[in-house]
Amino acid sequence: MSDKMVPIQGEPKKRVCYFFDSDIGGFHYGPGHPMKPTRIRMCHSLVMNYGLYKKMEIFRAKPATKREMTQFHSDEYIDFLSRITPSNMNSFLKEQHKYNVGDDCPVFDGLFDYCSISAGGSMEGAARLSRDKCDIAVNWAGGLHHAKKSEASGFCYVNDIVLGILELLRYHNRVLYIDIDVHHGDGVEEAFYTTDRVMTVSFHKYGEYFPGTGELRDVGVMKGKHYALNFPLRDGISDENYKSVFEPVIRQVMESYDPSAIVLQCGTDSLSGDKLGCLNLSMRGHANCVRFVKSFNKPLLLLGGGGYTMRNVSRCWAYETGLAAGVELGPEIPVNEYYEYFGPDYELDVRASNAEDLNTPAYLERVKRIVMENLRHVGGPPSVQMTDIPSLPIDEMLEDPNRNEDMESMDERRPQRLLDAHRQADGELSDSDDEGEGGRRDHARYRARDSVNGVDGGNRKFGMGVGIMAPSGSTNTHGAGPSGHTTAARVLSSSHPEPFDMDVDTPTTEPPPNPLELAEVPEEASKDLEAPAPLKTTTTTAEDMVLEESSSGSNV
C-alpha cells in the first residue's frame, strides 16, 4: 500500500470522520440528466481501494428526519417532498410549480430518501465536529447549496449546508462558509444574509450564468452587512490565477472574522472539462483550496456539490479525502469496480486544458481590492452572547454511542458498530493487496457484473429554458442581494445604499436597489416556469451511465 499513499510531511495528524451511505448511488435523476449520484459511489470505491479507510473513521449517518429538515425549510415544503412520487406527481402540478420541482429538479423514485441521506451526513458531521469527536468531517453527498427555504433549485432540494451550519452554530460563535463551486452559493448566502454569525465567501462564474446572483456588491444587509463576500470570475481561470486571489482573500477573512469552525463546499464543476462548468482548474489547483483551508487548523466540514463529469469528480474528491487524512494518493488508479471509467490512462490527475483565461491580472486585482475593502468594514470578529445549548435527538445518540450494545447479537465476535469505527493506527502492519481487512474484495469488471437490458439512449434534456442547464443569456435570477431580482424581498424605504466604488466591468442586468430586509428566508421567489410534464423513470444500469456520460455532453 506504500506506493498508493504517501504521508504528507510536516502536517499535524487530523482525526477524520468520513460519511458514506451505500444507498446514495442507487438514486437516478432521470435519463439525460447531468446530475448522477453514482459519482459518490465511484469516489468511495477509489477511497476504499487506495486504502484510505485505514486513515479515518467511516460512518453511515442516520438519515435526517422531517423534523430536522424543518429547522430551516418550511413544514409545507418538506411535507411535499416526502409525499410526491413519480406515480402521483400529476396530482401535485400546482405544488410542483410553487416549489420549482420539475425540469432541473425532477421527481424521481426515492427523492425524499436521497435528501435525507445528504442532509443526515452533513448534520452528523457538524455534530461530531462540535463535540470534538473529529477535526475534519467529510460528506461528499452534501454540498447542495442552491436549495431555498421553500424552493428547489439547481438540482438541489434540501440545503444540507444550511442545516449543518445551524448545527455548528449551537456550539460555535462564528462559522465561515467557503464555496468553490463554479456556481454561486445563493441558497446558503440567502439563508444567512442578515446575520453576522455566519460569513459566506463564494468564488464563482458570474455574468449570464446560473443562478445569476453573486454580484460583487452583494455584501449582506442589516446586521449581516459586509458578512457576505462574492468574488465573480470569468471563463477559463487557471490554477495560478485562482490561487492568487483565493489565498489572500481567505487569509484576510480568517484574520478579520476569526471563525471557530469552517464549512468548505468543494463543488468540482470548477474543474477543467466539466460538462456544465466553464473554468479551467486542474485537480491539484482545486485541491490546493482544501489544503490551504485545512492549514488554519479549525474544525472543518468538507462537502461535495456540483460536478458533472463523473470520472473527474470521483478523482478529485478521492484525492481531497487523502489530503484531509494527511496523505497524498499515488498517480496510478488502483483496480476498482469502476476501473474502466478512468481509461485510457487510468491515472488520478485531472489536468487543465489550453482554454483561454479571460481573467486578466488587472481584472482580478481590481476585484480583489474591492473585496478587501468590504472586509475592512468588518473591523474584527463580532461578539456573541452564548446561551444554553438546546437539546436535540442527535445529542443523545452522540453522547452515548453504546446505548444499544445490549441489543447486539451475542453470536457476533465483533459487532458492526465496532468494525465501522475501526481505524488502523500508524505503524500497524499493512495487509497485502489480496487479503486482509476487506482489501481487494471485488475484481469483477462492471460490464460482466451488470446486465445491459433495457438500455435507454437517454436523450431527454431537462430545464433547457431556465435554470442551471440554461444556455447563456437565459439566466433565471432570484435570491438575496441586488443581483436577485425577486419579489421575495421588501425594500426598506427608510434607508438608502451607501455609495459604492465600482470600477470593475462586471456584467449586471440592472442597477442595485435599496438594501433589502430579509428577516427570514423568503417562502417563495417569483419565477416564470411552465407546468412540468410527467417524467419517465427508468432503472439504470452501469451501461446506461456510460451512454449518458457521452450523450449529456450537449448540455454544456
CA distance 193 to 514: 15
> What's the angle, vertex CA 43, arms to CA 19 and CA 447, rounded to 5?
130
SS3 content of the chain, % helix, strand, coil (to 5): 35, 10, 55
Burial of residue 398 (CB within 10 Å: 0-12, 13-18, 19+) is middle
The Cα–Cα gap between 38 and 36 comes to 5
Give the separation between CA 53 and CA 451, rounded to whole angstroms. Answer: 30
Query: Catalytic residue among 28, 73, 146, 485, which?
Result: 146
* Pair 141, 65: CB distance under 8 Å: no
The residues that bridge with 490 in the sheet, in sequence order, are 517
146 is catalytic: yes
- Cell 417563495 belongs to residue: 524
Q: Three-class SS of residue 148?
A: strand
Rounded CA separation 9/374 (Å): 36
Classified as helix, coil or strand, 300 is: strand
Between CA 217 and CA 54 the distance in angstroms is 46
Residues 208 and 206: their CA atoms lie apart, in Å, by: 7
Cis peptide bond N-terminal to 401, omega within 30: no
* Residues identified as active-site: 146
